[in-house]
Structure 1
Amino acid sequence: MTKRVVSGMRPTGKLHLGHLVGALRNWAELQAQYDCFYFAADWHALTTDYADTSRVQASVIDNVIDWIAAGVDPEKATIFVQSLVPEHAELHLLLSMMIPIPWLERVPTYKEQQEQLTEKDLTTYGFLGYPLLQTADVIIYDAHFVPVGEDQVAHLELSREVVRRVHHMHGQIFVEPQAILTNFPRLPGLDNRKMSKSYQNTIDLSDSAEAVEQKVRQMYTDPKRVRADIPGTVEGNPVFVYHDAFNPDRDEVEDLKTRYREGRVGDVEVKKKLAKAVNATLEPLRERRAALEAHPERVREIIHEGSRKARTIAVETMQRVREALHLAY
């Protein structure tokens, strides 16, 4: 049996280059080897955006278009929407009956996001319990693997502990998911802060060529380099981090780095070549995106077909869970 991979993404706005290098390229590669289930985590979006849900549905459609444009193939992977499979919520409820609150409070992002998103009230049960919903999202499909970065390993380890606790009480029900560690360049934002839509420091996958050029021109570089003939720092410089991620001409990149360090090239030339490389990366995505936007009904068909397939599996799992918990009447 082909082993299964499950991964999701919160639809909270436009996708950017960080999503491309951090998730979508990996999703496209994994679908050739595994039975992949990729979902728009619209319920997870509500953990922080519960007060205004008006943009969630549009973000789901927009994000799925970007997924497909980036190489996720609906003929190879199952693309679905979390809320169209209500069994996720049932399993989440049952897990919440069994898991101690301190387990959830120790999840690293619980306090981190409360400190960072001070403009939002994150003292809700939904925010506290989102790691259990994440666990339900994965184990309801008997997922063997979950692709995660090193900073997300703690989340998956909690899921594994949850599975073991349930098994101790009620016997073997689920597959215990393993991590597939993904190594990718962590892109800084255009202003050298963390890349975030809230900081408006991203290059979006749907940006036009002109928008990309404009954003690249405004990128943060070495602040000590006030003239082109002053030697500059390459390491940690966002412009060169992006060159390493998107410019396939390695000789050109190394030449730019050498001349930058020696004060023999200006920021204008370095950024112009970066904009060209980024646009070359995004142009195939733009073409596929335009074709999908011209037929939005096809995108909705893909979502509903994938959700029906996902729900068939989820229904079978929940029957097994109810029998194990003596709730199958």
Structure 2
Amino acid sequence: MYPDRVVSGMRPTGAMHLGHYHGALKNWIRMQSEQPCLFFVADWHALTTHYDDPSIIVKSTWDMVIDWLAAGIDPSQATIFIQSKVPEHAELHLLLSMATPLGWLERVPTYKDQIENLSNRDLATYGFLGYPLLQAADVLIYRASQVPVGEDQIPHIEMMREIARRFNHLYGKEPGFEEKALEAVKKLGSKRAKLYAELRTAFQQEGEEEALQQARAMLDDAGSLSNIDRERLFGYLEGSRKIILVEPQVKLTEASRLPGLDGRKMSKSYGNAITLREDRDSVTKKIRTMPTDPARVRRSDAGDPNKCPVFQLHQVYSDSETKNWVVKGCTSAGIGCLECKQPVVDAVLAEQEPMRERAQQYLDDPSLVRAIVADGCDKARKLAQETMRDVREAMGLDYS
């Protein structure tokens, strides 16, 4: 079986804001110390909606990498790379497209949602229709075991799994596979070979998931097997196919939605965002001029924190004592709105300060960022090339 690996990416379509940090980057930072992670700038994906004006992509790509480093992504723990610098993504995307039914792409829920939400753009392109397939190639090419996503992205991961399953079914027909698998079973030793046969029967005939997991664990511990024999036995366990592409699992991330300055989701397009490394004076001004409960026309008017966007930020940034102070002070008109906003100002600035400090070395010497990305691209490409060798061989495109 292939090693555990996490893969995720972001589109470089503008400055990163605190919503990105709380929604994704904090999870990435936690995961990088737990297992191997690959994080990529999805510049080809940015072209699906910005194909008519790609000028923003290159600058946004470098800014995004600096933001990641500033937030705490550690290049000594995680591999950081740019999608288009690993052309094998495009090759796998092309090969997968040959066998992916058109209906699979048309039924992706976010496809119709995006068409409606971005009605000001002409998205009647193959690139936009096919972006879930490119997304699948981005993950499958690294044989990722897990993909960190929110609940709205689960259909995309399910589609990746279906594509991997279909590919393995179509092309995992190694000549003499069953004979080779049975020879590999013998290498387990009589006791383990008997258990393997029993567990395989329990899974294939009775659908016992526990039997499948037990057999996988046994194969992982079988030191007498070569990697290719272990791979054959994993495939034989689940059917009669060699596993070429791994079906990734959903890794649901903590839903930490940071509201924007107007209470809606934080988004650059809404004009309600605070960027990751925004100037202190600008941050202070933005928060101090945030709208509050419309009922508080005068300082002496009582308000309702649940109707105030500022209180939504308190929910993210303030401790229980501060939130209780806000509720009591607002509902009794004991504090004014500027007083209420100050703890949020202080908390946001405190959160951003180490980010600004970490970013400064990369702003002073951009060659450091280029070196990190070049190293990451080399590492990612080696993994991608290994997968593509197996894919080409399975599809009969190995002309060596």
TM-score normalised by the chain length of structure 2:
0.79
Give the Cα separation in 1 of the matches to 2:317 and 2:153: 24
CA contact (8 A) 1:47 1:130 kept: yes
Deviation at 1:97?
1.0
Deviation at 1:268?
0.8
Match of 2:264 in 1: 193
Structure 2 gaps of 5+ residues are 173-242
Match of 1:22 in 2: 23
Give the Cα separation in 2 of the matches to 1:107 and 1:264: 51
Match of 2:14 in 1: 13
Match of 2:116 in 1: 115
Partner AA of 1:310 in structure 2:
A
SS at 1:235 equivalent? helix
CA contact (8 A) 1:246 1:281 kept: no
Deviation at 1:236?
6.0
Match of 1:238 in 2: 309
Give the Cα separation in 1 of the matches to 2:8 and 2:291: 33
Match of 1:42 in 2: 43
Question: More displaced, 184-193 or 117-126?
Answer: 184-193
TM-score normalised by the chain length of structure 1:
0.96
Question: More displaced, 286-295 or 14-23?
Answer: 286-295
Give the Cα separation in 1 of the matches to 2:331 and 2:380: 53
CA contact (8 A) 2:29 2:73 kept: yes
SS at 1:55 equivalent? helix
The structure 1 segments of at least 4 consecutive aligned residues displaced by more than 4 Å after TM superposition are none
What do the CA deviations read for 1:21-51 (whole angstroms, capped 9, x no partner)? 0111111100111100000000000000011
SS at 2:123 equivalent? coil
Match of 2:351 in 1: 281
Partner AA of 1:167 in structure 2:
N
Deviation at 1:230?
3.1
Give the Cα separation in 1 of the matches to 2:90 and 2:131: 11
Larger Rg: 2
Match of 1:97 in 2: 98
Equivalent pairs counted in the alignment come to 328
Give the Cα separation in 2 of the matches to 1:161 and 1:233: 49
Deviation at 1:2?
5.5
Give the Cα separation in 2 of the matches to 1:102 and 1:237: 44
CA contact (8 A) 1:131 1:155 kept: yes
Give 1:250's match in structure 2, choosing from 306, 314, 320.
Answer: 320
Match of 2:134 in 1: 133
Partner AA of 1:51 in structure 2:
D
Give 1:298's match in structure 2, choosing from 368, 385, 393.
Answer: 368
Deviation at 1:220?
2.8
Question: More displaced, 229-238 or 134-143?
Answer: 229-238
CA contact (8 A) 1:222 1:232 kept: yes
Give the Cα separation in 1 of the matches to 2:294 and 2:169: 57
Give 2:333's match in structure 1, choosing from 263, 271, 274.
Answer: 263
Give the Cα separation in 2 of the matches to 1:243 and 1:30: 26
Deviation at 1:221?
2.2
Distance 1:213 1:36, change over 3 A: same
Deviation at 1:107?
1.2
Partner AA of 2:290 in structure 1:
M
Distance 1:47 1:291, change over 3 A: same
SS at 1:175 equivalent? coil
SS at 1:14 equivalent? coil
Match of 1:181 in 2: 252
CA contact (8 A) 2:27 2:254 kept: no
Give the Cα separation in 2 of the matches to 1:62 and 1:210: 21
Give the Cα separation in 1 of the matches to 2:294 and 2:160: 44
Give the Cα separation in 1 of the matches to 2:299 and 2:261: 20
Give 1:307's match in structure 2, choosing from 363, 374, 377.
Answer: 377
Deviation at 1:114?
1.2
Partner AA of 2:379 in structure 1:
K
Cα RMSD, aligned residues only? 1.4
Match of 2:289 in 1: 218
Higher-helix-fraction structure: 2
Partner AA of 2:339 in structure 1:
E
Give the Cα separation in 1 of the matches to 2:307 and 2:388: 48
